[in-house]
Structure 1
Amino acid sequence: MKTAAFLNDIQYNEEKVAITLLLETDFSKEIRIVFKKNQVMKDHKAPYPIVVQVLKGSINFGVNNEVKKLNSGDIISLEAKVIHNLTALEDSVVRLTLSKSDSVNRVKEV
């Protein structure tokens, strides 16, 4: 059994979003993304399906020329290779679930 706490020890980075691998299982990687208000993760895509959940705050999630506002508790899934972006509307904490085969470094490079 493994445990992690997404809302403990949150550290904001003034320069860019803060990305931390919190939990790795046999099938997934659970990543915390911490945004200061107005920080952006520019257009990018994942090689495998992903799940994004807002744990605290709110973000604009851009996909397919559409912007969806996601608030605390909201969750969205995307198929592989779908271009998307994220913009924090306020200080926010986001959970990203990646395939075990995906790379945390890929996310850090966005």
Structure 2
Amino acid sequence: MPGTHEGTALVFPHLPQALKPFDTKPQARKLVEADGANLVLLSFKKGQIWREHHSVHPVVVQVLSGAVDFEVKGQILQLQPGSPIHLTAYLLHEVRATEDATVMVTMLTGERHDSARINLDGVHAL
């Protein structure tokens, strides 16, 4: 199948400053629901925890700024910018911020969307 110039590219602003954690817990925001994937941004203050949970879709988790301890299958992985992790659907995991941190979760939904639903100022489409 040949490629095409039809379609959309979404360009995001600098995300580590896009969301601030709440005083008592991390903040999460679904930034976009797009063709094949949803993007969720998490913002943590040092010491905040996103307790054990799972996703119904496979996910890729990547730290954009700061650092977190990522617990999965009884192991604690120290995630920093540049070291993403892929999880299968329903796999339990927990996130603890060892520094102020911004984390991006890409939910691999496989869903079709005719146009992206965007929940963040400063995103523009090409």
Normalising TM by the smaller chain, what interval?
Answer: 0.7 to 0.9
Letter in structure 2 aligned against 1:58: A
1:56–1:73 Cα contact (<8 Å) kept: no
The reply to whether residue 3 of structure 1 matches residue 11 of structure 2 is yes
CA-based RMSD of the aligned residues comes to: 1.7
Corresponding residue for 2:123? Answer: none
Corresponding residue for 1:14? Answer: 23
CA distance in structure 1 between the aligned counterparts of 2:50 and 2:18, rounded to whole angstroms: 22
The reply to whether residue 75 of structure 1 matches residue 84 of structure 2 is yes
Aligned-residue sequence identity (percent) comes to 28
Displacement of 1:101: 6.8
SS, match of residue 103 in structure 2: strand
Corresponding residue for 1:24? Answer: 33
Corresponding residue for 2:117? Answer: none
Corresponding residue for 1:106? Answer: none
Letter in structure 2 aligned against 1:69: Q
**Highest CA radius of gyration, 1 or 2?**
2
CA distance in structure 1 between the aligned counterparts of 2:109 and 2:41, rounded to whole angstroms: 15
Q: Give me the TM-score of the superposition, normalised by structure 1.
A: 0.84
Kindly report which structure 2 residues correspond to 1:12-91, keeping only aligned pairs within 5 A, or say none.
12-91=21-100
Corresponding residue for 2:121? Answer: none
The structure whose residues are more often strand, as a share, is: 1
